[in-house]
Structure formats: C-alpha cells, structure tokens
Copies of this chain bind each other. A is one copy, B any other.
Amino acid sequence: MATLGDVAAKAHVSKMTVSRVINHPEKVTKELRDLVYAAMSELNYQPNFAAKALANNRTQIVKLFILERMDTVEPYYMNLLAGLADALDEKNYALQLMTKNSLDVGTCDGYVVTGMRNKDYGWLETVEKPIVLYGENQMGLDYVDTDNILGTRTSTNYAFACGYTTVVFVGINLPDSFAESREKGYTLAMAAHHAPPKVFQMDNRSHISDQVITKHFAEFPQNTCFVCASDRLAIGVERAVQHQGGQIPDDYGVIGFDGVFLDRIGSPQLTTIRQPVQKMGYETGRMVLHKIEENGAPQGHEVFVPTLVPRGTTRPPQEGQPK
C-alpha cells in the first residue's frame, strides 16, 4: 500500500506538501497540487486511518446512545444502525452501541443520541464532545429527524381524500417530542377539515392497540379511518378490526407510520407514511463526523420529508376529492 512518502517521492515534493494537498489544498500552488494528484492516482494512494487518528489524537469512535428500551430485533433500529454504520465506516470510524445499562461515557470522538426524554437533557450538559440527536428536540441541539407533523397531516388528509368520514388517531403515550408532533399533525389536519379530533394514546405495542380498538369498537361507525403513530400500532388495529368483522379497506381504513418492514407484514399490507430511516441514519452519521471535524461547531438540523405509501388498508382516493 502506497504511503504519503511514496506519493511525495513520485511527485518530487515533501510529505508535508502531500499532506497539505489532502487537508488544505488551497495552501498549495496549482502546479504542485496537480503533480501530487497525478502521483496519488498513479499509486492508488489510500490514506492510513490509524496513522491519521494517531497524529490527530482521535479515537475514531462514535458512541450511539439508545436511551429507550431497545428491542434488538426491531427493524427500525436495525435500519438506523445500518445507515449510521455506513456513514461512519466511510471515514473509518467505529460505532459503539451504548444502552441504558452501560452508559459509559468513555473515550470517543462524538455521540449520537436517540430516544431522548425531556428528563434526559440535564445529563447531556455534562458531556463536552460533539453530540447529534436522532429525533427532533426543542433545546436547540443539532438533530436529524423526519417531519412528523407533516407526516400525520398527510395521512389524515389522505384519509379524507379516500372518502372516510370519521378519522381517529391512535397515538403513543410518550413524553417525547416526536409523539407530540405526530398527534399535532393529526389535530391540525382535523381542524382544517372542521372535524372533531378523537385521540387514543397507548404503549407502542401491537397487542395493546389490538385490545384498545377491540374494546372501543362500538364507537367507530363504518367509514372510519384509523391514523396511527406507528406501523406497530397499525398492525394491531388492523387485526382488531378484522376480528370484529370490519371490512378493510371498504368500511374501515388504517394508515401506519414508519414504513420499515412491518408495513409489509400482514394482509392487506399497510398504507403508511414512510420515513427514509436508513438514509436518516446515514445523514446523522455524516453530521457527527462533520461536527467532529469542525471541533463541535453547530450543525443545525436536517428534516426529511416522509412519503405516503398507499397500499391495501385504504381504498383509492375518491374522484373529485382534493388530494
């Protein structure tokens, strides 16, 4: 494997010049730069990350804190991990997974944190390394998330567009910004349609939503659509409606949220609001790395637009209805 020195020799310059071409190209004259570039590609130069890390006093580690109880088989997290790992690997960073049990704030270059509750914010103050959150927050911290309000607003509007006359929200009872935003998107859309909101809140588990909907089934007239805060909840709702003899999508509609694997389970498959989770994970990774490179400079936030995926649990939009 070619080293800086090899490139330097081939280009008849010093190692330092090659290093500058890589890190501060504007400080080198164009002629030398081109020489160096030529030599690099000729030797197929690949930087040695260990050497770079050592010289820069970096650990090449980013820690991921998942503050909520995590189900290791949950595809949502797996996708997040995949995206994150992807971004980190590009720069040869290692990802260390920390769970609630092992909150070891040991040596590393930066943090990604997800599953923040309001009470967790104090803890963050104690950390001095670059942090990026996965999930919206109101504390001015850098984050990546999907537009949760837009998501449920979209699904609620779509429910009306499909001709359902009653639209109910099945939400998550967490004191978490994303849960509130998803409910808010629903209530905003209901207000725009001059329709009275009806909200249920529960743990994010399919058998819970199954129970709740079964219990209240008498309250739901035909032509009701259930807008859910997650696919997991939606799956339980779908099951409950079917067991009660409700016809999906003809008499009842169900719309989920997330679009990560679960939506394709069961039949009919779920109409859902899809988040590009893997891509979001990737961008989160890029954001921490940037922040590390820039010595902790604020990165702002990046919000992804969720997309509606129409499938079997809603009937087609009605003619003449606003989309």
Contact = CB atoms under 8 A, between A and B. Distances in A.
The A interface, classified by DSSP as helix, strand, loop or mixed, is mixed
Interface string A91-116: 01111110000000011000000000
A33 interface: no
* Listed residue (A85, A93, A239) with the most chain B CB atoms within 10 angstroms of its CB: A85
A75 B265 contact: no
B49 A60 contact: yes
Interface stretch (A76-84, A131-139, A292-300): A76-84
A14 interface: no
A50 B58 contact: yes
Contacts of A86: 97
Given A75-B73, A89-B94, A95-B89, A239 B261 contact: no
A266 B94 CA distance: 36
A50 B88 CA distance: 16
A59 interface: yes
Contacts of A72: 79, 82, 278
A260 interface: yes
A51 B265 CA distance: 48
A81 B81 CA distance: 9
Interface of A: 1, 46, 48-51, 53-54, 58-61, 72-75, 78-79, 81-82, 85-86, 88-89, 92-97, 106-107, 235, 239, 260-262, 265-267, 278
Contacts of A107: 1, 46
Q: Count copies of this chain in the complex.
A: 2
Given A54-B50, A54-B54, A59-B49, A94 B92 contact: yes
Nearest to A86: B97
Given A78-B78, A89-B95, A89-B96, 5 more contacts: A50-B54, A50-B60, A54-B54, A60-B92, A81-B85
A81 B95 CA distance: 12
Contacts of A265: 235, 262, 265-266
A51 to B, nearest CB: 5
A75 B262 CA distance: 10
8 contacts: A50-B53, A50-B54, A72-B278, A81-B81, A82-B97, A86-B97, A262-B265, A266-B266
Nearest to A242: B267
A48 B79 CA distance: 30
A73 B274 CA distance: 13
B78 A46 contact: no
Given A73-B260, A85-B85, A266-B265, A54 B48 contact: yes
A73 B1 contact: no
Contacts of A59: 48-50
A92 B50 CA distance: 11
Nearest to A44: B106
A94 B97 contact: no
* Listed residue (A50, A51, A72, A86) with the most chain B CB atoms within 10 angstroms of its CB: A50
